[in-house]
Amino acid sequence: MHGIISLGWFYWDPSREIFRLPIVDRPLGWYGACFVLGFILGYFIILPIFKRKLLETRNLLERDIQDWPLLVKDFKVAQNSPDPWIRSLHLKLSPEAKKQLSQLQFMQEPDSSLKATLLQTLNELKGSRSRIDLETLFPQTIIPLKQLCVSLADRITWFVTVGTLVGARLGEIFFYDWPHYREHPLDMIKIWEGGLASHGGVIGILIAIFLFHRSIKKNFPEFSILTILDCL
């Protein structure tokens, strides 16, 4: 009991500054440092989450092909491959698709219908082969899953970072000190002087996630807004 009462006299008042940055002579505060650390940790946490989600998509999609002319070349040379599985890629094609392949010039992009046919053939013959197996068989054609995850993580980190900062700053401006900023509009951009509202940041994050979803929904249809929120 005595120990509990004594805690009431405990005084915690650490300095807001960690140290001052040289040259610019600006303080680095604990709040800002933890803010940045949170984004960095979040980036590395979300990478395996994105990977697990992408692995749930069994079929290859158009976004997984990084070089269509090379895929066309792979299908053309597949008929002479000693590997039965690779050779079956060409055998599985319809006569019309084979004709279209033969008519394509070197490094010419196939049309959308032929792209769909090639993807369908790959997915039908994929069988028990994993995504990693296909990346090994077609190293210059199929985008590595890790690269897709990094691309998604980079994009959402930028969206969320900007959304958080802009939202938190606008929250501070409009919710707490609008009369001051109305009289001194240039102070709105002086974020280094402090002034971030957490609830404004939450609103900014939600808007950022909505915009992020709109930017990826065509190439990543498996990521709904709810899925993205679940990943976060």
Q: Where are the domains of the chain?
A: 26-58+145-231, 66-137
Of residues 62 and 129, more confidence is placed in 62
* Exposure string over 159-193, b if 16+ CB within 10 A, otherwise e: bbbebbbbbbbbbbbeeeeeeebeeeeeeeeeeee
Question: Whose CA is closest to 72, among 34, 100, 96?
Answer: 100
Q: Is 197 helix (H, G, I), strand (E, B) or coil?
A: coil
Please tell me what DSSP assigns to residue 26. Answer: E
pLDDT grade for 155, boundaries at 50, 70 and 90? very high
Q: Is the dihedral of CA 148, 152, 157, 158 positive or negative?
A: positive
| Sequence-ordered list of residues with C-beta below 8 angstroms from that of 1, at least 6 positions apart, any chain | none
Does residue 138 contact residue 126 with C-beta atoms inside 8 Å? Answer: no
pLDDT value of position 220: 93
Q: Is 130 helix (H, G, I), strand (E, B) or coil?
A: coil
pLDDT grade for 12, boundaries at 50, 70 and 90? low
pLDDT grade for 177, boundaries at 50, 70 and 90? confident
Average pLDDT on 155-168 reads 92
Average pLDDT on 133-150 reads 90
Does residue 159 contact residue 208 with C-beta atoms inside 8 Å? Answer: yes
pLDDT value of position 63: 92
pLDDT at 111 over 80: yes
pLDDT grade for 8, boundaries at 50, 70 and 90? low
pLDDT value of position 6: 54
Mean pLDDT taken over the chain: 85
Average pLDDT on 23-34 reads 75
pLDDT value of position 9: 62
- Whether the model pTM is above 0.95: no
pLDDT at 71 over 60: yes
What gap in Å lies between CA 33 and CA 30, rounded to an integer? 5
Q: What is the pLDDT of residues 44-55, one digit of tens each?
A: 999 999 999 998
Other CB atoms within 10 Å distance of the CB of residue 17 = 12
